[in-house]
Amino acid sequence: MDFFGQCYTLIMTTIHRSPVIVSALGLLLLSGCSTALHRAASAGDAARVERELAAGAPVEGPAAWNDPDTPLIVAAGSGQVEVMEILLKNGADVNRQSNIGWSPIGLAARHCHLEAVKFLVSHGAEANLNFDRWSKSPILSLAAGNCPAAIPLLISAGADPVVGLEGCSSAWQPAYVARCQQALQRYQPRAQTIAAADPATTEPPSQRQKAVEVTEPAAPASDIDQPARTGASRPDDFALVIGIEDYQGLPKADFGARDARTARKHFEALGLPARNIISLEGPAATGNKIKSYLEEWLPLNVKEDSTLLIYFSGHGAPDPQTGQAYLVPWDGDPQFLKSTAYPLKKLYADLAKTKARHVIVALDACFSGAGGRSVLAKGARPLVTKFDQGVAPDGRITILAAASEDQITGTLDDQGHGMFTYFFLKGLGEGKKSAQTLFDYISPRVQDEARRQNRQQTPALIGPDAPL
């Protein structure tokens, strides 16, 4: 390996150990060195991308002398599906890699932009590549360590699960390697046996892949999964969608990620542009990432006449000492709520700082600490019976909550969704046009289904009525 390769490997290892570094370096490059087309592609500014292309900007041009990424690679790494579609229509190569080996689908998978991965797969992206020239870590390995939900998408695009498992032993930190191995073994139980028996096998990957069967059961089909378009274009409205199922070190919140993916489809069906919807799913929904979008991105982009939709599906947690309620991000820890989770009180305060005319928050989580979509620090017992859900006295914020404060949430396993989410999205699909009419649709149906499960779950509507 030459000197440049050695330096690159050291830098990439450091970056992989600290996502904060890669974000900072990316911002530095984009702000100081990149072209206007690259900056627009990264930001999801579709109109600016079209103007730059019309003015003659090269669709495959590098960002700068020290940044070989094409606009498509930059857009994929930021999850900008609308921009990627424009670039492909203007001749961008879906499989073109930079001179250090990065590809559009590789960066989309690395950063857990699932909609971007799906889009690239549907447009012929090659997923059986290494992530870069020096680490020899396949794209599938990078996804398995950071975004397990991308695994079936990449396998469908031709990624080899056996080679992916072998790539898990690359020189990354042990915790990453363990996540990678665990995720791939879940989807490909024979991969470990094949790789361990002969790590240096010369059998072609295509032949080895035939011997491996995907055993992950298909998610149940639901009548809400493919919504029809119900509204005109709403270019000034925004949404932040968060869904977490497989937590880092916590029990699963069943169907949380699937809930979020379906909620995004319904928001698009309402007329919200794809570039106005931020989706954070699974490992992408870290505390820092959620904080960044709530405290920086939304206040910068939301307008005075905007309706802002916030959707969360995952665990909530109570502080047993104070009764304060928290949303738990992917990397949250109920033993350290103040430093790893997001208080509902702060959530509403942050949303009040936006210029939005209406803010509608839908929470498929609970805060009792008694199960369902709620967690409690090990060994702890709630010392209060009433939890502070942090409702802000702001006339613009309306909250649709899945359950009352002392209850737990449930799921509809035959639909593959949280019970509240199922009726929330079904009501949207049936044309409920205000928070009150939607709540009137949701509440009796959730209560009835919960009784059939021999428990109580009573949704709550807090704040003023608002148009959806």
Q: Which domains does the chain have, with CATH numbers?
A: 3-210 (1.25.40.20), 238-462 (3.40.50.1460)
Q: Where are the beta strands (DSSP E) in 132-180?
A: none
- 328-360: per-residue pLDDT in tens? 999 999 999 999 999 999 999 999 999 999 999
- Residue-level pLDDT at 78: 85
Rounded to whole angstroms, the Cα distance separating 402 from 443 reads 9
User: Which parts of the chain have pLDDT scores under 70?
Assistant: 1-34, 63-68, 133-136, 169-172, 186-219, 369-371, 378-393
- Name 401's bridge partners: 363, 460
pLDDT in tens, 27-56: 444 344 468 888 888 888 888 999 999 998
Q: How far apart are CA 117 and CA 299, in angstroms?
A: 28
Helix (H, G, I), strand (E, B) or coil at 378: coil
pLDDT of residue 392: 57
The amino acid present at 55, given as its one-letter code, is: A
pTM of the model: 0.60
User: CA-to-CA distance for 273 and 346, rounded, in angstroms?
Assistant: 27
